[in-house]
Structure 1
Amino acid sequence: MEQTVVDGVPVYWAEGPAPMTATLAFGVGTRDESFRTIGVTHLIEHLAMSALPRVHYEHNASVELETTQFFATGKPAQLVEFLDVVCRALADLPLDRVEKEAGVLAAEGSQVTHPTAAALLARRFGTSGYGLAPWAGPGYDRIPAEAVAAHARRYFTKGNAVLTLTGPPPEGLRLALPDGERPARVAQEPLPADGPRWSAENVPCPGLSLTGPSASAPWNIAMLVLQERLTTTARREKGISYDVGGERADVSPETTERLIWLDAREGREAEVAEILWNTAQRLADDGPDQEEVDHELAAFAELIDDPRLVVARLDLRARAELLGGPYYTDEDWLVELKAVTPEQVAAVMAEGLRTALLVVPEGVALDLSDRDGAPVAVGGCARVIGPEPDGRVLRPPLAARVLNGAARRVRLILGTDGVTLRDDDGDLHTIRFADVVGVEVQDGARTVFGRHGCVIPVDPDLFRGAEAAVAALDAAVDPALRYRTSDLVSRDE
């Protein structure tokens, strides 16, 4: 792999199969947004790509959890054109197209990661950073133009970019990006956890999240063996699942969140979830067989001989540069993997299970135990069971309470520093005014989104006297966090 610099941007290149591919990557993704600006990175990507003329060569762009990429495959002169147009557009965004591109994005309906992985990240981190993955936020049409411009100025700069090429830099290559430094980031702290948790979420299938060290060969082997065992049991032996997927979130140079999920035949979600949990626990208890470790080592050795892997290697090099983590060559990884023992795999899996998160589709109930035999508690947002806090208690209208038993159990409590909802299960959901990340405005009502994932409706139609809670909320919360319901969302949703 060769390295050079073009217009202040690091460039890495290696010979790969023709035609040439160019990837301009930036160290910015969903994790760098706020609840109020969810989707701003994707909006900027669309604005930049809208500046391209009609072309015949392959080109696209993507936004992920940590990075944004613009890529094209074609003749060297075509790549020079592509990169020049994209860089100039990022330096001077066509903000007059915001409304149109917001509509295009709403139609696209893409997600930054698999819905099950997104839900796991939200339960781990709340409604900030990586935890924003499953949330729609205010909507693309509710992101202020100044926020779009500010986000571009901060993240889409020479100092936060890396270009990779599957061949030497072509003649005439320019990268006319604005000057700027790579933003300093602090590793995101997860929400407090005192053990493993499971929760029912709006997800299509069960999934598991495990925290562990980055660049860990034992962890890599552990996840590969887990994936193979799940495929063997759930698909080949029981015939109740088809696919096992995985994702990782590099929370810091030292810590990575590893996510794994598997689909389930309708009605068998609980069984699949139990297979996932129990298979992970057995791997922690007994470790893999040496044959399983050797199998994964042999698979990696074969993989690195594939000449088509050059783009993947370049992507890893760019990520290491942008995210501040170490870069391992194929030879480095071979050395690390050859040293892995079954005992090391068992140890990392056991450590990850101490704070593991498991999610299942809504309506699925589980009865799980941890490795010590203790019940695995139900997780979710920051709900508690206990006495109501002090404050003004607001109940649903009398007619609703007469006709609906659930309404008789529900109440909204307006306190001096926040609002609390007692739901029909008796759980308490509290959002302190200081922890509000967004307030959706619908005429005289408000929907409040909290830092730990709770959502509370403050609506006079649902609670008698809620006008006082609306007034208190508006007075206590930064007006910049308020927004009207997106025009891109159907009122029937």
Structure 2
Amino acid sequence: MVTSVSHSTANGARVYQADLPGVCYGTLVFGVGMRDEPVTLSGITHLMEHLLLRLMEPISIEHDAVVDDNSLTVYASGPVDEVGQFLTDFTKAISRLGEVTEQDLKFEKRIIGIEHPSDFNAPTAGLLTYRYGLHGVGIANFGAPSTIDMTRQDVIEWAALWLRQNNTTVAFTKLLPATLDLQLLPGTVARPELNRSGFDGDS
């Protein structure tokens, strides 16, 4: 049996939906990952993900989030309306990053350090770093030693740069619920040429 998948847009984001039996699975994908980070902000996408989920607590639905080389992916499963509300709340948290306290920031940095101690405590290197240097796929192999020095403002600016409508895709295994109301900044992402000293500049 072939399942029909339809695509459309919701609040400016690309949407793919099916109508499958069983539990609903919803996914929110942002086109930003470790390879987009400058050396001075290596690990910032992971820290941002932790802080956004912290702003949503308590969370009662099954969920997870993963940062890889190319993307930040947020997952949830459960009743369709609850999945839609969870993804909506994640996007609403973006505009609330200013509410993060220094204690919140310190706590989440500590959690990340426990999760990935070798990446957090010192730079690392692998074949991709040796081949491509400290940019693009090379930076994804570098670890996240800059995390300890990141500020709330760094995270707020990173979210504003990347978490935009045209840099976001949503996938649902059910028809979209009325609770899905993505709150994202309009516009496309102008991918900067990242350097060692900040968000943009000459490579």
Which of the five TM-score ranges fits, normalised by the shorter chain? 0.7 to 0.9
Unaligned runs of 5+ in 1: 113-117, 189-434, 438-477, 481-493
- Of the three residues 82, 97, 100, the one matched with 1:95 is 100
Q: 1:150 and 1:111, CA in 2 relative to 1: closer, same or farther beyond 3 A?
A: farther
In the alignment, what sits opposite 1:133?
Answer: 140
In the alignment, what sits opposite 2:24?
Answer: 20
Q: 1:111 and 1:44, CA in 2 relative to 1: closer, same or farther beyond 3 A?
A: farther
Q: 1:137 and 1:52, CA in 2 relative to 1: closer, same or farther beyond 3 A?
A: closer
Cα distance in structure 2, aligned partners of 1:127 and 1:62: 22
Which fold has the larger relative contact order, with Cα–Cα distance below 8 Å and residues 6 or more apart in sequence? 2
In the alignment, what sits opposite 2:114?
Answer: 107
* Count, aligned residues: 186
In the alignment, what sits opposite 1:466?
Answer: none
- Of the three residues 68, 75, 78, the one matched with 1:74 is 78
- State which drifts further: 82-91 or 141-150: 141-150
How much has 1:163 moved relative to structure 2?
0.5
Residue aligned with 1:127, SS: coil
Q: 1:56 and 1:149, CA in 2 relative to 1: closer, same or farther beyond 3 A?
A: closer
In the alignment, what sits opposite 2:201?
Answer: none
Pairing 1:402-421 to 2, within 5 Å after superposition:
none
Letter in 1 for 2:147: Y
Residue aligned with 2:29, SS: strand
Cα distance in structure 2, aligned partners of 1:136 and 1:87: 27
Cα distance in structure 1, aligned partners of 2:70 and 2:17: 22
**TM-score of the aligned structures, taking structure 2 as reference length:** 0.82
How much has 1:150 moved relative to structure 2?
1.2
Residue aligned with 1:133, SS: helix
Letter in 2 for 1:128: H
Cα distance in structure 1, aligned partners of 2:28 and 2:46: 15
Cα distance in structure 1, aligned partners of 2:37 and 2:67: 12
Cα distance in structure 1, aligned partners of 2:165 and 2:32: 13
Contact 1:5-1:11 at 8 Å conserved across structures: yes
How much has 1:4 moved relative to structure 2?
1.9
Contact 1:36-1:137 at 8 Å conserved across structures: no
- State which drifts further: 9-18 or 38-47: 9-18
Give me the identity figure in percent.
27
Letter in 2 for 1:82: F
Say yes or no: does 1:169 pair with 2:173.
no
Any idea what the Cα deviations from partners look like across 1:448-471, whole Å, max 9, x if unmatched? Answer: xxxxxxxxxxxxxxxxxxxxxxxx
Q: Which has the larger radius of gyration?
A: 1
Residue aligned with 1:124, SS: helix
Cα distance in structure 2, aligned partners of 1:81 and 1:3: 20
- State which drifts further: 4-13 or 64-73: 4-13
In the alignment, what sits opposite 2:13?
Answer: 9
Residue aligned with 2:56, SS: coil
Residue aligned with 2:77, SS: strand
Contact 2:16-2:171 at 8 Å conserved across structures: yes
Q: 1:123 and 1:147, CA in 2 relative to 1: closer, same or farther beyond 3 A?
A: same
Pairing 1:174-323 to 2, within 5 Å after superposition:
174-184=181-191
Contact 1:2-1:14 at 8 Å conserved across structures: yes
Contact 2:25-2:173 at 8 Å conserved across structures: yes
Contact 2:24-2:80 at 8 Å conserved across structures: yes
In the alignment, what sits opposite 2:34?
Answer: 30
**TM-score of the aligned structures, taking structure 1 as reference length:** 0.35
How much has 1:49 moved relative to structure 2?
0.9
Any idea what the Cα deviations from partners look like across 1:65-124, whole Å, max 9, x if unmatched? Answer: 001011100101211221121011112214322222111111111899xxxxx7121122
Letter in 2 for 1:176: Q
Letter in 2 for 1:63: V
More strand, by proportion: 1
Cα distance in structure 1, aligned partners of 2:89 and 2:173: 20
Q: 1:184 and 1:133, CA in 2 relative to 1: closer, same or farther beyond 3 A?
A: closer
Cα distance in structure 2, aligned partners of 1:182 and 1:110: 32
How much has 1:141 moved relative to structure 2?
2.2
Letter in 2 for 1:51: L
Unaligned runs of 5+ in 2: 120-124, 199-203
